[in-house]
Amino acid sequence: MEKYTIGVLATDQGDRVQHVTGTRVEVTVADVNDNPPRFTAEVYKGTVSEDDPAPSGVIAILSTTDDDSEDINKQVNYFITGGDPLGQFAIEHIQNEWKVFVRKPLDREEKDNYLLNITASDGIFTAKATVEVKVLDANDNSPRCEKALYSESVPENSPAGRLILQVSASDADIRSNAHITYELQGAGSELFIIDSDTGELKTSQPLDREEQEEHRFTMRAVDGGGRYCEADVHVSVEDVNDNPPQFSSDPYTFTVFENTEIGTYVAKLLASDIDVGLNSDIVYSLLDSADGFFSIDEQTGVISLERPLDRELQATYELRALASDQGSPRFSSVCLVVISVLDINDNPPVFEHREYTATVSEDVTAGTQLLRVQAASRDTEANGEISYGIISGNEHGLFSVDPRTGDVFVIEPLDYEASHEYYITIEATDGGSPPLSDMATVNINLTDVNDNRPVFSQDVYTAVVSEDTELGRTVATVNAEDLDGPSHSQVRYSIVAGNQGSPFTIDAARGELKVARQLDRERTSGYTLTVVASDNGTPPLSSSAMINIDISDVNDNPPLFSQANYSLIIQENRPKGTSVLQLAVTDRDASHNGPPFTFAIVDGNEGDAFHISEQGALVAAGALKKKNVEHYLLQAQVSDSGRPQLFSSAFISVRIIEESVYPPAILPLDIFVTTTGEEYAGGVLGKIHATDQDIYDTLTYSLAAVVFLPLRGQRRPVLRLRLRW
């Protein structure tokens, strides 16, 4: 209690009367600081993002209570007394509150949780509490690639999907900020695929070392916030022995003097193999050494003379050389080596090169210079004057050489389709007596241009297709060839005319003509299609062919009577076998599925009074009597000759009437016509009128007789007609 009130009495010591007086004493207790402050919580918790700039927001607000009554004894100061060795936090009194905040930048990756010891002091007493600070992650760290460079080798014959290597990266952040996906960057990466989650790098298609020995591209590891690291990836393609050696020429042509010493190098062959290592190490050998006249160094390909030559005995030797690589399995190739033996001479002309090469488009203009060959002689004056001429390989006269300069020209149109390359032998001859010479080979390679249209194997194709052929069935195949090279000879087919209603389609690549819609011979009995074959040149060339398609019939239409119902009126007592009606029948199918027709009466023929002949005539089988049967309703049926047989029906109403009673009556009529010669040929002379009282009788007219009667006084005769009805 802060204040006490005490009642005090004062009594005297009188004998008789004692007097008493009283008063109140108020005692106020003055406060002293004898109570410690107390925190309102033992542990305060707060969070802060590591990327919040310092000084940052409030982490916690501290508060204490104190049982002392005086304000001066309640005044408390707060201090961080532990857990913050680097001084990254601070406490300040702001707006009458003690607040804990971040003073220096934090790094969650170094430390993600702090326990700050807080001491509160009122000057005498202290209290302690803890502030737990949790540092939240921010995407402030890029992924770190495990390696800056990944290198691996893979054989060139590896299938698509071959695992090459696995890349890896880590991220100091957490959760989504540390989720890493992998991707490829850069040219050449399209040949590979990478698993975005595991980083497994695989081939997406087979590799070819001869096309590219090494593939270099970039791998990128990207975290959830878009930060990334990159590493270089080098994939070396290991060679496998998949290419044979290739000679630089086939055949080789060399010359050697007949007095050449044994052991002399007379020629050198060169073969190359685009593989590498042992797969490209080439060993030479002779399959035919011309009875041991020549040998070859297996390493260098140099051909040496082993026996003396005599041009008069043999002027030319043909050798077969073999070049083999050292791969597994081994590949090899063979070429022809032609060695011509020359007569002895002092200083023959010598070409600068044994072999010249030129490449030219097949549409080169006549008169174009291809190259120049050149030979030199150590002789002088006339013996050193060299002239050039083509001695072989120019059988068609396509090329010429300037005898003075050695310039080689095209003089006739070339055709890649006739020959892709030409080998001509040019001889250089000096002016000596006897003249000396040397020979060189000129290899002329032609490049293709699109100068040939596709040509169909036939101008007109024919096919017979049943009208019930199922859809998608191939009914014909057209084929066109293009004599150009592969870059211009791919043929595509299309239908451009005659395919009304699109009953057919054609495979653009294979030329297979197929049924696309149901056929109906009765609607269209045949088609004439125009098919175009186009090549892939620029511009494309094309040609066309016709396909005549006959639609063969199937029996899918029944025979039909010309009428669905017939009505007849017949007089009784007609003779047996009288034809009373001729039935007309049509069938839309072809003739072999139509007639001959088979007729039958399937209903209503009481007493078999009628029958139908093979020609479709309804015939009375006997005498008809009205009193027996006055009316017949016959159901006639007709069947065709197809397989399966189809049929249809018609109804014939036959009414029997009595015989005629009254003869026809004719009005008397005389016609007088006067004509000159043949002027009235075909003219109408007059009309005869007749009647009959029998209502169902039908009258017909005919001439019974023609009589010419001369009339008295008339020079011309008179025509008298007798009519019959």
- Residue 484 pLDDT level (bands cut at 50, 70, 90): confident
- Helical (H) or strand (E) element with 390: strand 387-392
Distance of CA 418 to the CA centre of its chain: 33
Co-location of 78 and 121 in the same domain: yes
Q: Is residue 15 part of a domain?
A: no
pLDDT band at 502 (very low <50, low <70, confident <90, very high): very high
Q: At which of 429, 447, 465 does a domain end?
A: 447
- pLDDT at 652 > cutoff 60: yes
Full residue range of the structural domain in which residue 611 is found? 554-674+682-724
Which among 534, 552, 570 is the end of a domain?
Answer: 552
For 5-55, the pLDDT digits (tens) are: 888 888 888 888 888 898 998 887 777 777 889 988 889 998 888 778 887
> For residues 218 and 237, what is the distance between their CA atoms, to the nearest angstrom?
17
Domain CATH code at residue 95: 2.60.40.60
DSSP state of 716: S
User: Does residue 701 contact residue 688 with C-beta atoms inside 8 Å?
Assistant: yes
Residues 440 and 479 occupy one common structural domain: no
Q: Kindly report which listed range (40-54, 432-446, 489-503, 676-690) carries the lowest average pLDDT score.
A: 676-690
Amino acid at 528: T
pLDDT in tens, 184-208: 998 888 889 999 899 999 998 888 8
- pLDDT at 720 exceeding the cut of 80: no
205 and 264 belong to one structural domain: no
- Around Cβ 481, how many Cβ atoms within 10 Å? 13
- The count of structural domains within the chain is 6
What pairing do the DSSP bridges indicate for beta strands 421-429 and 437-447?
A: antiparallel
* 517 lies in the same domain as 434: no
Same domain for 148 and 81: no
Percent of the chain with pLDDT over 70: 91
What's residue 66's pLDDT? Answer: 84
In a domain, 422, yes or no: yes
Q: Are residues 699 and 659 located together in one domain of the fold?
A: yes
Does any domain span residue 10?
no
Give the chain's count of helices (H) and strands (E). Answer: 1, 60
pLDDT beyond 70 at 661: no
- Rg of the chain's alpha carbons, rounded to an integer? 61
- Would you say residue 280 has pLDDT above 60? yes
Q: Which tops the pLDDT comparison, 638 or 682?
A: 638
Q: Is the pLDDT of residue 500 over 80?
A: yes
The secondary element (H helix, E strand) that includes residue 71 is: helix 71-74
Q: How far is CA 504 from the centre of its chain?
A: 22
**Average pLDDT of 685-707?**
67
Selected residue with higher pLDDT from 182 and 717: 182
Q: Indicate if 151 and 47 belong to the same structural domain.
A: no
CA distance 39 to 393: 113
